[in-house]
Chain A
Amino acid sequence: MSTGEPRHEAVDLPPVRRRVREAPAIGLNLTSMIDVVFLLLIYFMVATDFKQAEEVYRLDLPERVEGMSVDPFQLDDEPLRIMVRSTGPGDEEYRIHIDGPWGEVADFEGLYEFLDSRRLDGMGGGLFAEDHPLVVIPGADTRWSDAVGAFNAAVRAGYLNITFEEISS
């Protein structure tokens, strides 16, 4: 018996694909910042590497009290005076003269050998104690490097009481 109603047949239709819109990823692109940061880091590291190793000589400048009476029996030893002059623009152009009967030495190595050989060694040899006062006297036009070279020779030779003479104004 027919009811007159259309027959519906099951048809396998493909499932409806719903297009789900994904939310856009929110985030900063850090690449360019990291590039810049690394460039800065490399710059500072390289710039810092250019600095040379600085070292120091220790030196005391004792106060001079004018008019202070000095006990003549407690006078210091007569200082050994070392005069340094630059004689030309070259690094090797200088002259060193040691006050007293000793005269000139050829270079800073000669000054070191002179001072080292005359330092009291505790076995009867030598002439000057290690705390004997030494005064380096650079000329007004003496290069600072030559003044420091003479100072270095005295420090190397083991002397402890070394100073520079100031130019009187």
Chain B
Amino acid sequence: MANLTPMIDVTFLLIVFFVVVSQIVDLESVDLELPAPEQPATHLPVEEPRAVVNVLPGNEGRSRGYKVAGREYQPTPEGLAGLRDALVLLYQSTPTMRVNLRADRYTGYRWISPVLKVIRQAAGIADVGLEGASLNLVVVREDA
């Protein structure tokens, strides 16, 4: 009779890996239809400290809010202030972090511009330096 113990060990390790990875992905990313530009001059994301800001899509090009580290913020002045405070805390703990901005391809720019402003302000409040905030605009390669 074959000894199945190592196979079961490996299989369980794989399951734990996939469960943990899928939970991390769910925490950071929201199911969005990211922009897919033609002939994208993009980079592969580098392994570095980062925060992920998701612009949650709403109806007809609107946004229903923003999501950072599993927490949602309304697209109102109060919500944006909360988003800024959250980003300030993240910048204070990791001044060299980059912010990954993920937004749906059909979302209007009026919902994304405030996020750019908030990120810039948060970097300024946390005093990360004159270089300011470093962003990654996240898109998807459809030819990949």
Contact = CB atoms under 8 A, between A and B. Distances in A.
Contacts of B19: 44
A50 to B, nearest CB: 10
A40 B136 CA distance: 34
Contact of A53 (B106, B129, B136, B144): B144
Nearest to A43: B18
Interface in B27-78: 34-45, 55, 61
Nearest to B57: A144
Contacts of B36: 145
Interface size class of A (residues with CB under 8 A): 35 or more
B89 interface: no
B110 A141 contact: yes
Interface string A135-148: 00011111111011
A143 B106 contact: yes
B95 interface: no
Interface size class of B (residues with CB under 8 A): 35 or more
Nearest to A56: B136
A108 B42 CA distance: 16
A57 B108 contact: no
A117 to B, nearest CB: 17
A155 interface: yes
B35 A142 contact: no
A30 interface: yes
- Of A61, A108, A139, A147, the most chain B CB neighbours within 10 A belong to A61
B87 to A, nearest CB: 12
A143 B140 contact: no
Given A55-B40, A140-B110, A61 B135 contact: yes
8 A-B pairs with least C-beta separation: A44-B18, A145-B105, A55-B42, A56-B136, A53-B144, A138-B109, A140-B110, A62-B132
Interface of B: 4, 8, 11-12, 14-15, 18-19, 21-22, 25, 34-45, 55, 61, 98, 100, 103-110, 112-114, 116-117, 119-120, 123-124, 129-142, 144
